Structure 1
Amino acid sequence: MSFSRIEPAPAQGMGLPAASVPHLASVRALWARIDLWLARPRSAQRVVVWLAIYLAVAANWPLWNELARIGGAPSTYLPTSAAMAVLMVCATVALLSFTAWSRWMKLLWFAVVLLAAFVQHYMLEYRVVMDPTMIANVLQTDPNEARDLLSWRMAYHVLLVVLLPGLALWRARIVPMRFVSKLWRNAALLLLAVAVALVAAVSMNRQLAPLMRNNIHLRYMMNPVASLYSTGSVVLRPMFKRSRKLIPITAGTALGASYAGQARPPMFVLVVGETARADHFGLNGYARNTTPELAARGVLSWRDVHSCGTNTLASVPCMFSPLGKQGYESRSDDYENLVDVLQAAGLAVLWLDNQAGCKDVCTRIPNASAFDSLSPAQKSALCDGEECLDDVMLKGLDARIAALPAERRAKGVVLIMHQMGSHGPAYYKRSAPEVKRFLPECRTNALAECGHAELQNVYDNSIAQTDHFLGQTIDWLKAQSGQYDPGLLYVSDHGESLGEYGLFLHGVPYSFAPEAQKHVPMVTWFSQGMSERRRLSRSCMEAELDAPLTHDNLYHTVLGLMDVSNSTYKPALDAFASCRSKA
């Protein structure tokens, strides 16, 4: 018996061309050399410097694109971009020098890269900047809103930035050093970064000074420096401030003469809109009829109204404040607000929310979420997960009103409805199928993937849904006319950018925000009973529809409509004061 030896098959017999074997070998050899280079022992300070350079190049494309747009010719913007790159690297090195200690910092460094990747994605996708207001808004975002911002495009953009530094940090070997040695090296690195930044800033001051003064948003596009600064400002600044006390303003609040012997109490609905643009309301002359239901109900639309802020966190507390925009933003303490005054007057007040909270406006009055007590059938018809169309606020509304104290309802009811409205970027979720008459619409939250026409269609459908919701609310109020004298005022908290100037969504700092993010719709409807009890002249109000108004007027206008006296009321800021007869 004999045994034959089986020889290994040649490589080309395994389906691989002979030429590919040396190619694969060269790739493996190259990877081995790269891996060996990555695994060389390095000081933490050197890793920090390389990381800062990488982030300046790979995570700041929005900044470089904006500098190119502003600068015009390459001979103009390239030197400025180079100076900005030096400042960027130095600023990042200075920040990371506080972390250059040991290999245990690698996770923190990777977190900085991950943050920079996410920030770059949203700056590229929606043209936002990461100022403290935007960060505060982000921190207030609920899980449903956050889910709307997720996409495969985001995952691709993030992976593109984090893959290489993630691998490098994983393989990096940090040279161990004594504490004193690390301390002086970190101090030297910090001083060197500051010195180089100062030299660059002084040498390019003639170009950089006017650029940064005329384009304030650029300072919030330096990634990740701006995000870290803004986050620190929002999170840490309150720790070093004295705690604000609540200043009461309700002393002496009383109901006016219209309540004496009233046949019916008033019922007033204040609808706080979300992300609605005044120039996309058909009532205001928009080419598309986005508001047919409101037009059919004889409402009045005020065409020159501007918001207090460009995001919900800034606008909603400001519009309910007695201080006005300037006073609210410069205040050193907190103050009671409009709903506190209405509550103190003895009225039945309820805040109903279909949004991510009332931003502390409603904490001292009865408030409820629109999701409460929904039946499975209602959730199925009106909700997508935990996000619901605004029509949900009308479900069970009679029961909610009846649950308020009877002695307060006998005087009057004020209902504040906080909409989901046109909140982006998932605009396609903001309208029901039967309302979607502008097609085709953008069906993704990656807005840059949609053409302008599709984006305009989906946003206009969300406005049409608001029109439908307000029409249904007015119909509900009409049904209350036998028991109450009803009225409604709707005003949006801020507007929205739909690609104009390359901007999407909202939240651009107010001082240089576009008109689209500040010009908001305001609509009123008054029953005959409400008009008579407050002696409102419709012809007078129609003549005032182009009068300039702001959120500063809301506080005083509502007090005037509800005939509530308070020391903070200013007739000059009451939008309807001149249209109320004295007799």
Structure 2
Amino acid sequence: MPFSDSSTSRSREAGAMRTRSPLTLTWLAALWIGVLGNWPLWQRMWGMPDYASPSGRLFVVVFAGIVILVLAACFSLLAWRVAVKPLLTLMLLLTAPLAYFIGSYGVVIDSAMITNALQTDVRETRDLLGWSLAAHVAVIALLPLVWLWRQRLTDLRWYKRLGWNLASVALALALGVGLAATRTAELASTLRNHKVLTKMVSPVNAIWASAGLVVQKQKKPKGPPEIVAADATLTPRPAGARPPLVLLVVGETARSENFQLNGYGRPTNPELSGKPVLSYREVASCGTSTAASLPCMFSQLGREAYVDHPGNQETLLDVLQRAGLAVLWLDNQSGCKGICDRVPNAQAINPARADHPLPAGLCRPDGECLDEAMLHDLDARIAALDPQRVARGVVLVLHQMGSHGPAYYLRTPDDRKPFQPECRSNALQQCPLEQVRNAYDNTIAYTDHVLAKAIDWLGTQQQRFDPSLLYVSDHGESLGENNLFLHGMPYALAPRQQKHVPLVLWLPAQTRQSQRLDDACLTQRRDTPMSHDGLYHTVLSLSGVQTSVYRKDWDWVGACRRGG
């Protein structure tokens, strides 16, 4: 190693354990983490056509050297006798799971991914655990940690230690700059054209993304949310007209190209295919993760403006409630990300609740419930809302577990798995891709069943309400294309599968009539480009809310409304 002050051990008795400089440990840790802890990065680069030539292979080696030297520079700042072991332990324990998730699913680590991790609940965390993850932690972290904690360290006065540490930082940076100078053109091209690679350097990626998240949080305005659409009111209804009942189903991880309704070659929508639904084929999501998409979907800003907005505004649900409607959010996932905080909301995952006991078979012993649980006893849930608000109209939001991976097989009941054999593991990379697709398509077919049951229930409400159903997924999913699994890629780099989402509308004749919607127009718009930007404004129009923030050009059905 470049630095060692182990000479202080020469006077120790023969046979005593050799002492090591803290800097020796930091350089060894940088080498170990740089090479083994970043194996997904080297595997990705080695398989890219840009680096297939002998010159390209050499650049991968040079790039690895730069990464090791950057890590050595960073770790050298930690090389204090008391702190070095705990801090290197943290780096190793952070790197090991990062290597597993990046290598297994092709994810990249940025602020959005860190947000997802922080908002993951116990059920989602359980789905990600397995022997493969344990093996990565054992090899990449536990083995070197056993050696690390057995080492005795030299001790120097603080000013000498500071001098050695700064010299080590300077040497690492100088060597790194020297290496970079040998391949300046290739390095610039890589940083410009393959930005995703920089988000794969562990553990720098997680530390940098976490710091960025802290900065974002500090920029977020404090205090109560900014009021949006203060002028929201209900459109006057003619005497005897029925109030609206809007059922908004927010899907999870469903991708448009796996919907039979959109031309997919497998029967993933057998029940909806027999119902008068409208399926729109060209719909773009706000983001590639729930944490990014969900708040954006319920904002009036639209994706482009929302990305740069500091946040803390009222959501669509606040506006609906201010206008006088009854609003209810039912959740079968990891929560509403703050969207439903100020309106009535409930979880559908507790089968022991006395007020809404669930039928047997809808929930597993661990507490996770199938999406059908949210449809149970909806009449009673509406009856529990403010009756004066219910008389004006109701908006119900169901937040699905849907196709949440990687344990797709857990999202469907045993009697609703038409595609076999399915992958019954959360280690998707270890299953044949056909089995991964079978397990995923089973979740789409089950969502089809849940939506069909929801439509059947809405049909029973037509004497009292003008019902409508909107289904749209929050984002899509990768199923092994280009060696990517799951979702969460940066939006600009994400494949189409993670951003292209299904949108299904059910508008019965009486609702189309009361809303003055033209049937032919609605059908003709099946291939019109749309996006999550329209959700806010479509729900406003279907629920009869007037406000100055409404945009007809973003309303999914606004162009088909006769007479204005």
What TM-score, normalized to structure 1?
0.90
**Structure 2 residue aligned with 1:171:** 150
Contact 1:305–1:551 (CA under 8 A) maintained in structure 2: yes
Alpha-carbon deviation of 1:135? Answer: 1.3
The residue aligned with 1:124 is 103
Work out which of the residue numbers 111, 115, 129 in structure 2 matches 1:136. Answer: 115
Give distance in 2, aligned partners of 1:97 and 1:573. Answer: 53
Q: Does 1:306 align with 2:287?
A: no
Q: What is the CA–CA distance in structure 2 between the aligned matches of 1:61 and 1:380, rounded to whole Å?
A: 46
- Measured at CA, do residues 244 and 38 of structure 1 come closer, stay the same or move farther in structure 2, by a change above 3 Å? farther
Cα distance change, pair 260–192 in 1 and its aligned pair in 2 (3 A) = farther
Alignment correspondent of 1:402: 383
Quote how far apart the aligned CAs of 1:164 are: 3.1
Deviations 1:58-114 (A, max 9, x none): 111111111112234241322221221122112212222232111443132122112
Q: How far did 1:551 drift?
A: 0.5
1:203 is aligned to 2:205 = no
Does structure 1 residue 316 correspond to structure 2 residue 290?
no
Give the whole-Å Cα distance in 2 for the aligned partners of 1:81 and 1:54.
17
Report what 1:348 is aligned to.
326
- Equivalent residue number for residue 575 of structure 1: 556
Counterpart residue identity of residue 323, structure 1: L
Q: Count matched residues.
A: 547
Is residue 2:358 matched to residue 1:378? yes
For residue 229 of structure 2, what is the amino acid of its counterpart? T
- Aligned residue among 264, 268, 274 for 2:246: 268
1:546 aligned onto 2:527: yes
Give 3-state SS (helix, strand or coil) of 2:361's partner: helix
The change in CA–CA distance for 1:241 and 1:462 in structure 2 (over 3 A counts) is closer
Q: For 2:511 and 2:171, how far apart are their aligned partners in 1? A: 70
- 1:216 aligns with 195
- Secondary structure in structure 2 of the residue aligned to 1:559: helix
> Structure 1 residues 553 and 179 mapped into 2: Cα distance closer, same or farther (>3 Å)?
same
Deviates more, 1:209-218 or 1:108-117: 108-117
Question: Within 5 A, what are the aligned runs for 1:376-455?
Answer: 378=358, 380-384=360-364, 385-455=366-436
Structure 2 equivalent of residue 521 of structure 1: 502
Contact 1:498 1:504 in 2 (8 A): yes
- CA deviations on 1:133-175 (whole Å, 9 max, x unpaired) are 1111111111110000011121112212124311220211111
Mean CA deviation greater in 61-70 or 75-84: 75-84
Match of 2:461 among 474, 477, 480: 480
**Equivalent of residue 470 in structure 1, options 451, 460, 472:** 451
Q: Distance in 1 between matches of 2:482 and 2:326?
A: 45
CA contact (8 A) 1:276 1:520 kept: yes
Give the deviation of 1:453 after TM superposition.
1.0
CA distance in structure 1 between the partners assigned to 2:353 and 2:267 by the alignment: 34
Q: How far has the Cα of 1:314 moved from its partner?
A: 0.2
What is the root-mean-square deviation in Å for CA atoms of aligned residues?
1.9
Question: How far apart, in 2, do the equivalents of 1:131 and 1:245 lie?
Answer: 28
Aligned residue type for 1:112: M
Secondary structure of 1:360 counterpart: coil
Cα distance change, pair 494–352 in 1 and its aligned pair in 2 (3 A): same
Q: Where does 1:54-69 land on structure 2 (aligned, <5 Å)?
A: 54-69=32-47
Shift of 1:37: 11
The amino acid that maps onto 2:481 is: E
How far apart are residue 203 of structure 1 and its match? 3.0
- Whole-Å separation in 1 of the counterparts to 2:286 and 2:385: 31
- In 1, the alpha carbon distance for the partners of 2:235 and 2:446 equals 37
What does residue 560 of structure 1 align with?
541
- Which residue number corresponds to residue 168 of structure 2? 189
- The code of the aligned residue for 1:168 comes to W
| Structure 1: gaps of 5 or more residues | 1-35
- Alpha-carbon distance between aligned partners in 2 of 1:244 and 1:195, rounded to the nearest angstrom: 47
Letter in 1 for 2:454: T
Distance 1:234 1:126 in 2: 23
Larger Rg: 1
> 2-side partners of 1:261 and 1:242: how far apart?
44
How far residue 300 of structure 1 moved from its aligned partner, in angstroms, is 0.6
Unpaired runs of at least 5, structure 2:
1-13
SS in 2 for 1:490: strand
Determine which of 211, 216, 224 is the counterpart of 1:232: 211
Task: Provide runs of 4+ in structure 1 moved above 4 Å.
Answer: 36-39, 239-242, 372-377
- The change in CA–CA distance for 1:262 and 1:319 in structure 2 (over 3 A counts) is farther
Paired residues of 1:130 and 1:227 also in contact (CA < 8 A): yes
**Residue 194 (structure 1) shift:** 2.5
Give the Cα–Cα distance (whole angstroms) in 1 for the partners of residues 77 and 212 of structure 2.
Answer: 18
Once residues 370 and 165 of structure 1 are traced to their aligned partners in structure 2, the CA distance between those partners, rounded to angstroms, is 44
- Alpha-carbon separation, structure 1, partners of 2:15 and 2:174: 30
For 2:429, give the aligned amino acid: A
What displacement does 1:379 show? Answer: 6.8
The answer to whether the 8 A contact 1:489-1:524 is kept is yes
Q: Give the aligned partner of residue 11 of structure 2.
A: none
Aligned to 1:108: 87
Distance change (3 Å), C-alpha of 1:472 and 1:512: same
Deviates more, 1:329-338 or 1:427-436: 329-338
Q: How far apart, in 2, do the equivalents of 1:504 and 1:452 lie?
A: 10
Q: Which residue of 1 aligns with 2:7?
A: none
CA distance in 2, matches of 1:208, 1:264: 65
Residues 333/236 of structure 1: CA separation in 2 closer, same or farther (3 Å cut): closer
Q: 1:148 to 1:373 in 2, by over 3 A?
A: closer
Aligned residue for 2:272, secondary structure, equals: helix
Q: 1:353 to 1:333 in 2, by over 3 A?
A: closer
Q: Which secondary structure state, in structure 1, belongs to the residue aligned with residue 358 of structure 2?
A: helix
Q: Write the letter of the residue equivalent to 2:26.
A: V
Aligned-partner Cα distance in 2 for 1:388–1:426: 14
The structure richer in helix per residue is: 1
Aligned-partner Cα distance in 1 for 2:430–2:253: 21
- Other structure's SS at 1:247 match: coil
State the partner residue of 2:8: none
Partner residue in 2 for 1:44: 22
Q: Using the TM superposition, name which of 44-53 and 228-237 deviates more.
A: 228-237
**Match 2:308 to one of 327, 330, 346:** 330
Partner of 1:362: 340
Report if aligned partners of 1:253, 1:344 keep a CA contact under 8 Å in 2.
Answer: yes
Whole-Å separation in 1 of the counterparts to 2:517 and 2:382: 26
Give, as a single letter, the amino acid of the residue that structure 2 aligns with 1:183. Answer: L
Contact kept? 1:38, 1:172, Cα under 8 Å: no
Q: Which amino acid letter does the alignment assign opposite residue 472 of structure 1?
A: K
Q: Secondary structure at the match of 2:553?
A: helix
Distance 1:240 1:578, change over 3 A: closer
Report the CA distance shift for 1:429/1:37 in structure 2 as closer, same or farther (over 3 A).
farther
- Show the counterpart of 2:3: none
Question: How far did 1:397 drift?
Answer: 1.6
Contact in 2 for aligned 1:110/1:165 (Cα 8 Å): no
